Amino acid sequence: MDFISNQEPQIGEMLSAIGLQRMEDLFAGVPSALKVEVPLEDDGMSEGEGLRLMEALAAKNAFSSFESYLGGGAYEHHVPALVGAICGKSEFLTSYTPYQAEASQGMLQVIFEFQSAICALTGMEAANASVYDGASACAEALLMALRHQDPRRKLLVAESLHPHYREVVAQYLRGQEAQLEFIPFGSNGQIEIETLRRHLGGEPAAVLIQSPNFFGLLEPLHELFALTHEAGALAIACANPLAYGLYASAGECGADIAVGDCQPFGIPLQFGGPYAGYMACRQELIRQLPGRIVGETLDVEGRRGFVLTLQAREQHIRREKAKSNICTNQALAALASLISMLWYGRKGVPALALTNYRRAAYLRQQLASVQGVTVDLQSPIFNEFLVAFDQPVDEVQIRFRRHGIEPGIALGRYFPSLASYLLVTVTETKTQAQLDRYVKVTQER
């Protein structure tokens, strides 16, 4: 997308049209204390000075020197070197988003293969080219349900959904004629069948449940979604896509729509983004799916080719007909995820998922024997679990940080009733020696 700055005489014409004499008059309402004066002389730095400043600022970031057990939607995974090598090719790196994607069969094929990989992981029949992230995918899925289920306007969302995702969902629905209800989780951190049953009155349009949920626990999706369908509602599953390498897919659990964040596959943490959200659904819902959908075809000479089959954005169709006015697709981030999925392959993804589970299960088992620590060993998990301490969590964090360890996410900031808990995440990046060191620091008093 090109940008050409305004110059004279355009600036003078625009000022005249709004009745002003100078550019400075545009900012007359801004207090002078907030204005930065134009320097009389060049106050810029040389290239060398600028680099030294950036290096000094970067040195203040201590994250790389810490062993991190943070998770909650953004996970530290090994990114195969192949990802950077391919994504760094100019054909992909500079494409931004393919507004005239038919001109690039390579980019169209990438999107097609990405959609195919997402369908294979989720057990769904159709997928789009991606959306911004897992949070916006959840919100867009609920909007899909409202369109498909009209005139039903009630939406049920599990309270065990990531708190940030819930905030984004609420923001998206604020301008909609929708009734949003949150389903409380039980004492074990999961959604209970009877709790869902009590909320299903009033003809809900959809039920959105995350599994593994924000607490790292697997929800009983088969039973919950069976009850959802009995009420005539659509079932939406939000999940870490890597978990599908070990557990039943969204389709196998009875979901109508599957959403989540692709970050665990090939996308570095990079301070919170950019990531790529995935969206997949049953075939009958495909025309409610926002964004782009690439299809495979043959040209007049019988050669395999790819085309934009559906484009449900306002850039391509009348605004009132658009399924989403937000995002085309996260082409580069989706490519990174696709490369990672293909690198691990059919056998590698389940093996990677199993490694994550085993290392998290090992640490959970070891912590359960530490005095003053409470860990639930019965509930099913993937690679995250809750740990309660008999000391204030901030003191626990200080102790761990002295040893160069970030021990987990303090849940009190999201759930005051869980102020004594940390959410601990373990991925394939942690060795047994590191996990044993975590237990040793836990034992200190």
pLDDT tens by residue, 94-151: 765 555 555 678 888 999 999 999 999 999 999 999 999 999 999 999 999 999 999 9
Average pLDDT over residues 325-341: 86
Average pLDDT over residues 250-258: 98
What percent of the chain lies above the pLDDT cut of 90? 77
pLDDT at 328: 65
pLDDT at 24: 86
Rounded distance between C-alpha atoms, residue 287 and residue 203, angstroms: 23
Lowest mean pLDDT among 211-225, 259-273, 294-308, 310-324: 310-324
Lowest mean pLDDT among 229-243, 300-314, 332-346, 362-376: 300-314
Q: Are residues 238 and 256 in contact, defined by beta-carbon separation less than 8 angstroms?
A: no
Rounded distance between C-alpha atoms, residue 123 and residue 252, angstroms: 7
Average pLDDT over residues 337-347: 97
- Going by C-beta distance under 8 Å and a sequence separation of 6 or more, which residues neighbour residue 115? 126, 127, 128, 129, 293, 294
Per the DSSP assignment, residues forming a β-bridge with 280 are: 127, 258
pTM of the model: 0.87
Rounded distance between C-alpha atoms, residue 115 and residue 197, angstroms: 34
Instruction: Spell out the SS3 assignment of 311-358.
Output: ECECCCCCHHHCCECCCCCCHHHHHHHHHHHHHHHHHHHHHHHHHHHH
pLDDT at 1: 46
pLDDT tens by residue, 306-332: 988 877 655 556 666 666 766 567 889
pLDDT at 121: 98
Phi, psi torsion values for 359, nearest 5 degrees: -70, -35
pLDDT at 156: 98
**Domains of the chain (ranges, CATH numbers):** 64-78+346-443 (3.90.1150.10), 81-341 (3.40.640.10)
- What are the tokens at 32? 């002078």
Rounded distance between C-alpha atoms, residue 295 and residue 395, angstroms: 54
